[in-house]
Amino acid sequence: MDAKELKTLKKKNKIRESKTDYIYYAVCGFILFLLAVIIIYPLYYIVIASVSDPSAVVNGEVWLYPVRLTFSGYANLFNRPDVWRGYFNTLVYTLAGTAFNIALTIPAGWALSRDYLPFRRVIMPLLIITMFFGGGLVPYIAVCTALGLYQNPLIMVLGGGVSVYNVFMCKSFFQTNVPKEVLEAAQIDGAGEVRTFFDIVLPLAKSIISVMVLFYAVGHWNNYIDALIFQVDTDYWPLQTVLKALLEVSAGEGEVAAEQFLIAKQVQFTSIIIATVPILILYPMIEKHFGQGVLVGSFK
C-alpha cells in the first residue's frame, strides 16, 4: 500500500486508537516511572554519600541530602597519579580487548548460523561444553604462563577473548535477521564466503555488533581480578583494580582502624561514580545503531 493510503487509514483509526491506547500508555508510563523511582533513589544515595562526611554516612544520618558537604573523597582520588594511570590503562584494555572480542565473536556467530558449516555438529558441543566445564584457576594460569601471559598486561586484552554465550547471541541474530534472498542473490553474483560476509552480512549486523561492543566493553571495564591473579605490575593496573586496592582496609589496629574504615567507606561511593560515569555514555553511542542495517520493509 502506498503512503497516502496508509495516512488516510491511520487518520480513520486515530480516534479509536487513542481511546484504547490511552489506558495502555498510562499504565505503561506508570510502571516505567515506578521502576525509575526504585532505581533512582539508591543511585541518588551513592551521589550524596560520596559528598558527605563519611562518619555521617556510617551513622545513617545521610539519606535525603548530603550532610556536611565535602569533596575530599574526589580530591583524594583525583590527586592520585595511579587513578589517572588506571583510567588510561582501562581505556587501552577496553578498546583493544573489545576489538579482539568482536573480531573473534562476530565471524564465529555468523559461521555457526549457517547450517552448511562443515563440522557443525562437532563445533557446537565443543563450544557449549566450555560454558559449563572449566579446569579451574591453577591450570588456566599455567596455560597462560606457558604463553608468556603471566605478569604481562597483555592478558588484560586477551583474557576472556570469546564468550560462548555472546557467540550464540550472534548466531541467533544472524539466523533471524539476514534474509535468505540477499544471500542467494550474492551467491548468484558469484560472491565467495569472505566477500559475502564483509559486503553483505557485516553491514546488516550493526545492531548486534553494537550490543556485543557494549557487552564486551563493559566486561573489560569492570575487570579487576585478572590483573591480580596474573600478578600484573601495578603500573599496568586498570582503574578498577586501583580502586579495589584503595578499598582494601589493611587490618590496622586501634585508632587507625576506625579512621581508615571511614576513608574506605567514602572511597566506596566516590569510586563508583568516577568508574561508572565514563562508561554510561557508551550506551547512547551504541544505541544509535540499533535497528540500523536491518533491511526494513524489503522482501516482505
Partner 1 sequence: MKKSKIFTALMAAVMCAAAVFPLAACYYKDEDEGHEFTVLTVKEETVKDYNTMPVFRSLAKETGRDVYWIYNTSMQYQNNSDPVGIKGIDAIYHAGFSNLQLYNYGRRGKIAALDSYITEKTMPNFKRILDARPDIREALKSPDGHIYSLPRVEEMGLKAYPNLLFINKVWIEELIDANDPAASGIEKEDLQDGLRLTRSQYKGILQGFKANHGSCVPLAFVHGNWQGNESDFISSFGVPENAEHKTILNGQITFTVESEAWFNAVKEMHEWYGAELITSSAFTQTQDEFLARGQDGRYGSFYWWEKDTVVSKDLRDDYIVMQPLVDDATGKQYVGLSNELEVEKSECVILGSCKDKAGLLKYFDKFFEPDYSAQLNYGSIESGAFLRQKVDGKLIPNDDHGRQSADDFRMKNAPYGVVYLTQEVWENSVEMESRAKLRLERLESYVKPYNEFKDSVRSIPNLNYTKEELDILSRYETMLGKNINSWMVNKIIASSAPSLSDWQNNLLKSNKTAMDEVKRVNQAAYERYLAATASA
Partner 2 sequence: MQNHSNTAVLTAELPADAAENEKLIEQAYEALDGTEENKPENRNKPSKWDRWKANFKRRGWILLFILPALIYVIIFCYAPMYGILIAFQDYGQGDPIIGADTVWVGFDNFSIFFSDPNFWSYFTNTFLLCFFGFVVGFPLPIIVALLLNSLRAKKVKKGLQILYYAPHFISLVVMVGMLKMIFGSDGLLDKWAGGNGLELFLKPEAFRPLFIFSGNWQDFGWSAIIYLAALSGVDPALHEAAKVDGASRFRRIFSVDLPAIAPTIVMLMILSIGNLMSCGYEKVILMQTDGNRVTSEIISTFVYNFGLGADGKPGLGTAAGLFNSVINVALLIIANFTSKKLANQSMW
Residues 86-145 that bind partner 2 (CB under 8 A): 103-105, 107-108, 110-119, 121, 123-136, 138-140, 142-144
CB of 208 to partner 1, least distance (A): 12
280 phi and psi, to 5 degrees?
A: -60, -30
Q: N- to C-terminal Cα distance for the chain?
A: 12
Give the interface with partner 1 as residue ranges (CB under 8 A): 55, 58-59, 96, 99-100, 102-104, 137-138, 141, 148, 151-154, 157-158, 198-199, 202-203, 206, 209, 225, 228-229, 231, 233, 244-245, 248-250, 252-258, 260-262, 293
Task: Give the residue with the Cβ less far from partner 1, 122 or 138.
Answer: 138
Window 29 to 68, contacts with partner 2 (CB under 8 A): 29, 31-32, 35-36, 38-40, 42-43, 45-46, 60, 63
| Residue 108: contacted member of partner 1, partner 2, none (CB under 5 to 8 Å, by partner type) | partner 2
Q: Judged by CB under 8 A, how many residues of this single chain contact partner 2? A: 104
SS3 209: helix
Among 51, 77, 157, 294, binds partner 2 (CB under 8 A): 294
d(CA 227, CA 246): 15
d(CA 10, CA 15): 9
Task: Give the residue with the Cβ less far from partner 1, 205 or 274.
Answer: 205
Any alpha helices (H) in the chain, and if so which ranges?
3-50, 54-58, 72-78, 81-113, 120-132, 137-146, 155-158, 164-177, 180-188, 193-195, 202-204, 206-222, 225-229, 239-247, 254-280, 282-287
d(CA 187, CA 196): 8
